[in-house]
Amino acid sequence: MPDKPATLPPPAAHHDLEDVIDHIIACCVRNEAALNSHGRVSVGDLMDAIGERSFGPLLLVPSLIAVSPVGAIPFLPAVTSAVIVLIAAQILLRHEHLWIPGWLSRRSMDARKLEQGLEKFRPVARFIDHFLWPRWCWLTGGVFFYVIAAMCLLIGLVTPVLEIVPLAGIPPNAAVVAFSLAITARDGLWALLAFCFTGGTIAWLVSLAL
C-alpha cells in the first residue's frame, strides 16, 4: 500500500535556528546516552533527536552543520549532502516517515567539535531569528513544498562536486538553510529569498562553467 502524501508538518517546538542549535546540543552533544565511547555522535542520533516527520528541521540540521565552522571537517560535507538528498527525495516520494540506510546512520562526528562549531554560529542564528515568523504561508505549502524539496535535492546532489573549490559549498547549503527555515516557521518570505538565492547561485555556476 503506497504511503500517504507528505504534508507540511505543524510548527515544531524548535521553530527557529537558535532553538534547533539548543536542541542538538542538549539531545546529542551533552547527552551521554547519545554518545559512543569515543565521544562521537552519529547521524542517526541527530535525526532521532529532531523527529522523523519534522521535515523542515530534518533538512535544517545537515545544512546548518555544513555552513557552520564544523563543516570544514574533511568528508563531513559529503555526509550532510547525502542526508539532504535522502530527506528531499523521500519528501518528493511522499513518504510519511524518514528512512536512512544503516551505513549513513552510523556515520559520526566528534561531539565537542560539533558543539564548538554550532556555538560559533549562534550569533548569526540569533540575528536571523529576529526576521523569522509565519507569513505568506502559501509559499511553503502545497505544490511549493515539493518545489522546495526538489531544489534541496538538486543542491544536495551538486554540493559535493562544488566542494572541490574551497568554501564553494557554503552558498548552496545556505540556500537549504533558508528553505528549511521557510518550511519550519512557515515563512514564505524566506522561501522567496531562498528561490532567488538559488537562482543566483545557479547563474554564477553557469558563468563559471562558460
pTM of the shown model: 0.76
Q: Which residue has the higher pLDDT, 71 or 23?
A: 23
Residue 103 lies in a domain: yes
Residue 191 lies in a domain: yes
Residue 34 lies in a domain: yes
Contacts 24+ apart (CB under 8 A), 106-110: 106/42, 106/43, 106/44, 107/42, 107/43, 107/79, 108/36, 108/40, 108/41, 108/42, 108/43, 109/40, 109/41, 109/70, 109/73, 109/76, 110/39, 110/40, 110/73
Please report the pLDDT score of residue 54 as a whole number.
Answer: 67
Q: Residue 154: CB partners within 8 Å, gap ≥ 6?
A: none
Reduce the DSSP state of residue 85 to 3 states and report it.
helix
Please report the pLDDT score of residue 209 as a whole number.
Answer: 64
Residue 4 lies in a domain: no
Phi, psi of 158 (to 5 degrees): -90, -20
Q: Residue 73: CB partners within 8 Å, gap ≥ 6?
A: 109, 110, 113
Residue 12 lies in a domain: no
Beta-carbon neighbour count of residue 89 at 10 Å? 16
User: Does 43 score more than 60 pLDDT?
Assistant: yes
Residue 6 lies in a domain: no
User: Does 9 score more than 60 pLDDT?
Assistant: no
Task: Give the confidence band of 165 by pLDDT, cuts at 50, 70, 90.
Answer: low
Residue 9 lies in a domain: no
Amino acid found at 101: P
Please report the pLDDT score of residue 33 as a whole number.
Answer: 57
Give which of 205, 179, 28, 178 is closest to 114, Cα–Cα.
28
Give the domain range for residue 44: 17-209
What's the total number of domains in the chain?
Answer: 1
Task: Give the confidence band of 147 by pLDDT, cuts at 50, 70, 90.
Answer: very high
Please report the pLDDT score of residue 8 as a whole number.
Answer: 36
Residue 11 lies in a domain: no
Task: Give the confidence band of 12 by pLDDT, cuts at 50, 70, 90.
Answer: very low
